[in-house]
Amino acid sequence: MPLASGEHALTYVTQAPPVFFGWRPSLVAATLLSPAATASLVYAVIAAGTARDDLGRCPAGEPASNAPMSEAGVA
């Protein structure tokens, strides 16, 4: 049986998350916490892979771009 027929026909097929079908507390918790856990893991990997810390400080050895310079060019 086709889901849609005719020209420019759209069919939206959605399935509710398992929390609506499950009755075990562990299934409900896993369904509700999975997006937050995934986002936290992605953020942790990106934060660990960047040269800057979470506060945006420049890495050691690099002068800040907005540091005041004297006429001799030495801060």
User: Quick one: average pLDDT of 28-40?
Assistant: 88
- Residue 24 has a pLDDT of 83
- CA 42, 47, 48, 54 torsion-angle sign: negative
- Residue 46 has a pLDDT of 87
The three-state secondary structure class of 11 is coil
Dump pLDDT digits (tens) for 49-72.
Answer: 876 655 666 666 656 566 666 665
Q: Which residue has the higher pLDDT, 9 or 43?
A: 43
Q: Which residue has the higher pLDDT, 40 or 62?
A: 40
Task: Check if the beta carbon of residue 21 is closer than 8 Å to that of residue 27.
Answer: no
Task: Check if the beta carbon of residue 43 is closer than 8 Å to that of residue 35.
Answer: no
Q: Tokens 């005719």 map to which residue?
A: 6
